[in-house]
Copies of this chain bind each other. A is one copy, B any other.
């Protein structure tokens, strides 16, 4: 459960909270002259909010820890990420709206290429296209074994998710992906005694599924990883008395939002402005909006600082659409840093902007960027405190003690 001391203090006053996440927002410069994407971007609207509101910076998981997207979002949502661990398989399944209950298991899969000896020659089957992979993955979906129900669904191109539904299936299983070529896929084995049943069933299914692909010219095998089950997270409604909506374009973020009980809203159109307009359409039905912008992270990973800055500018330009809705609390931050200079996620603190015109404390900082956020009025704090601060600034928390 998110902080249990919050629950008795909750006061559902109908105020509206927006948590706008620019994925991988934080950047670095390794010299005083350098600029991060956020510094490079021309962001008059964000800077106005920064000037009026309060800045800070978050530690996503722990000092020095580079997070994956799953734990980074769990932290932002108030779920201690070292306590609540969502396996990648369960996350991917949730992103596709595939039900994974406790006792079921899910895993991510790649189609791959095998040679005649059964050794992996390409871990991604030549990055086979969406269209070419679809019927092959559908073949896998038809492979069934007694005692369980198996569902296989394409994610994108050669990637798929498998869910095995039964009773008492434990996900303590190793990946079959050997992470190299020239060797055969690994056998699935139970990492704990409880997982013995699941290991046998998955291994049996793999055997039959390999036969089903035996005649394929390229994608004649597959690799599984990230076995997991539903982590049974308490819902946003239960933890915060919030009717929460997720507005995101990528399955992964819908997935983690679904696991905390958010309503997943389909975005009509593309990009930040379309997302903000979607929030407007659902404004009366929800009181918490998680809005996720992915491309800041994607371009950060590409090392494309200018493109990352452009995405930030796009968000800034569309911001009036969101502000016209008159949120009581608007938080703009990232789930982690993805410095273009490093071309990867990183452990660096994440810029954080709190704008709550009735309750924020204006600080001395006037621009929304890494260097000013480090001096902001909220200080440096764990990302898992984000929801407490959001609820407080929305006047949704009563006094603790007399």
Q: Which residues of A contact B (CB under 8 A)?
A: 3, 5-6, 9, 28-32, 34, 51-52, 57, 61-72, 81-82, 85-86, 88, 91, 226, 339, 342, 344-349, 357-364, 366, 370-372, 374-381, 385, 388-393, 397-402
Contacts and interface: CB of A to CB of B under 8 A. Distances in A.
Contacts of A81: 400-401
A370 to B, nearest CB: 6
A9 B65 contact: yes
Given A226-B402, A376-B374, A402-B70, A63 B362 contact: no
A65 B392 contact: yes
A398 B381 CA distance: 22
Contact of A64 (B28, B34, B62, B391): B391
A377 B379 contact: no
Given A32-B51, A57-B379, A402-B70, A385 B5 contact: no
A322 to B, nearest CB: 19
B66 A398 contact: yes
Interface residues of chain A: helix, strand, loop or mixed (majority): loop
A399 B63 CA distance: 13
A377 B349 contact: yes
Given A67-B399, A402-B88, A5 B62 contact: yes
Number of chain copies forming the complex:
2
Nearest to A364: B371
A53 to B, nearest CB: 8
Contacts of A363: 371, 374
B361 A29 contact: yes
A51 B357 CA distance: 31
A331 B394 CA distance: 32
21 contacts: A3-B62, A5-B62, A30-B357, A30-B358, A30-B361, A32-B362, A32-B366, A34-B362, A63-B392, A64-B385, A66-B397, A67-B400, A68-B399, A71-B400, A72-B401, A345-B399, A346-B359, A349-B377, A374-B378, A374-B379, A378-B380
A61 B31 contact: no
A65 B378 contact: no
Given A63-B389, A380-B381, 7 more contacts: A32-B51, A32-B52, A61-B400, A65-B400, A68-B399, A364-B375, A380-B380
Contacts of A82: 5
Closest CB pairs A-B (n = 4): A379-B380, A64-B388, A64-B392, A68-B401
A379 B67 contact: no
Given A397-B347, A402-B91, A388 B29 contact: no
A389 B346 CA distance: 11
Contacts of A66: 392, 397-400
